[in-house]
Amino acid sequence: MKRQGPLALCFLFGIALIFTQFSPHSVSQKLYEEVIDWGLIITPFALVLAVVTLIETHITRVRRRTEHWQYSLVVFVGMAVMVLIGIPFGPQNSIVEWLYNNVQVPMDATMFSLLAFFIASAAYRAFRARTFEATLLLVTAMIVMIGNVPVGDLAWNTVLSWIPLEDGASKARQWILDIPNLASRRGIILGVSLGVISQSIRIILGIERSYLGGGD
């Protein structure tokens, strides 16, 4: 029951969705809509997993007094303030919106903007033309980088004005994206999609069971 029940349900829902997509019969369509409805209702509950895991991690840090454990209390305070105001009054409450706009959004945006600095440092230190393949990657990246910004065409039209091709930087970028990039991406899409389909069949048939986790 601990494994067979979930496997049977997975099979039933998978098969139901495959067949109802091919049958226009009203009963089939009703079943299709009902299955989607079930999916919609079950999904929000999955939040429990994420929240419980996060709380457990930080409680463990506080209990064991690991390094910087005090900051876990900041996590709890932040979460508690948002939840205690947001759940009774809703996300359109002015305090929730204020916290979101002035605390969450700026910090989230800033956190990821650090990557601009790290990408610059990494490009300087590690982006080397050691082999033919690395050179190809490097040259393409530079053409795309310069073609992405207006200064690329400005430089091309000024410095290389003797070449009978206007806006060469952005045109070269566009050609790279339209042709060789497209070919390689399509190869990846075909490979990944075949993988998705075969894995989905294995899951529905109960051959792939890793999502059930360990234990009996």
Partner 1 sequence: MEIFGIWIASLLTLCIYSFLYRDNPFYRFAEHLFVGISVGYSIVITIHQGFIPLAWNPLSEAMVALGTQIRGEATPETSEALSGLFKIFPIGIGLLFFARLSPRQAWLIRYPIAILIGFNSGIAIPNVLRAAIFEQTHGTLTPFAQMHAGSMSLDDIIGAVFIGIGLICTLIYFFFSVEHQGPVGWLSKIGIAFLMVGFGAAFGNTVMGRVALLIHRTGFLINDWLGTIF
Partner 2 sequence: MLEKLMNMDRRLIFILVAVVVIIPTLIPIRLPTRVSEPAQKLYDYIEELPPGETIMLAFDYGPSSLAEPEPMAKAVLRHCFNKGVNVIGVTLYANMPTLAHGLMQKIAAENDAIYGEDYIFLGYRPGALQVILGMGNNIASVFETDYSGTAIHEIPMMKNIKNYDQIALLLDLAAGSSTEAWIVYANTRYGLKIAAGVTGVIIAQMYPFLQTGQLVGLMPGYLGATEYEKLLNAPGDGTVGLNTASFVHVLLIGLVLLGNIAFFIHRRREE
Binding footprint of partner 2 on the chain (CB under 8 A): 21, 32-33, 36-37, 39-40, 43-44, 46-47, 91-92, 96-97, 100-101, 104-105, 108-109, 111-113, 116-117, 119-121, 123-125, 127-129, 138, 142, 145-146, 148-154, 167, 170, 174, 177-178, 181-182, 185-186, 188-189
Whether 61 and 72 have beta carbons less than 8 Å apart is answered as yes
Contact 6, 208 (CB under 8 A): no
Cβ-based nearer residue to partner 2, 66 or 148: 148
Residue 27 binds partner 1 (CB under 8 A): no
Name which of partner 2, partner 1, none residue 11 binds, using a CB cut-off of 5 to 8 Å depending on partner kind.
partner 1
| φ, ψ dihedrals at 132, nearest 5° | -60, -45
Q: Count the Cβ atoms, other than its own, within 10 Å of residue 119.
A: 11
Phi, psi for residue 127 in degrees, rounded to 5: -85, 85
Going residue by residue from 101 to 130, which x/- string records binding to partner 1, judged by CB under 8 A? xxxxxxxxxxxxxxxxx-x---x-------
What's the CA gap between 43 and 50, in Å, rounded?
12
Q: Which does 150 bind (CB under 5 to 8 A by kind): partner 1, partner 2, none?
A: partner 2
Choosing among partner 2, partner 1, none, which partner's interface includes residue 81 (Cβ < 5 to 8 Å by kind)?
Answer: partner 1
Residue of 59, 83, 151, 163 that binds partner 1 (CB under 8 A): 83
Surface-to-core class of residue 43, CB atoms within 10 Å of its CB (0-12 exposed, 13-18 middle, 19+ buried): exposed
CB 123 within 8 A of CB 138: no
Q: Which is nearer to partner 1, 163 or 178 (CB)?
A: 178
Q: Could you tell me how many residues make up the chain?
A: 216
Residues within window 129-158 making contact with partner 1, judged by CB under 8 A? 133-134, 136-145, 147-149
In the list partner 2, partner 1, none, the entry touching 31 (Cβ below 5 to 8 angstroms by class) is: none
The tokens describing 189, both together, are 């899409």
Q: What are phi and psi of 67, to 5 degrees?
A: -60, 135
Choice between 8 and 139, CB closer to partner 2: 139
The owner of tokens 């002035």 is 102
State which amino acid sits at residue 56.
E
Binder among 60, 150, 151, 180 for partner 1 (CB under 8 A): 180
Whose Cβ is closer to partner 2: residue 60's or residue 104's? 104
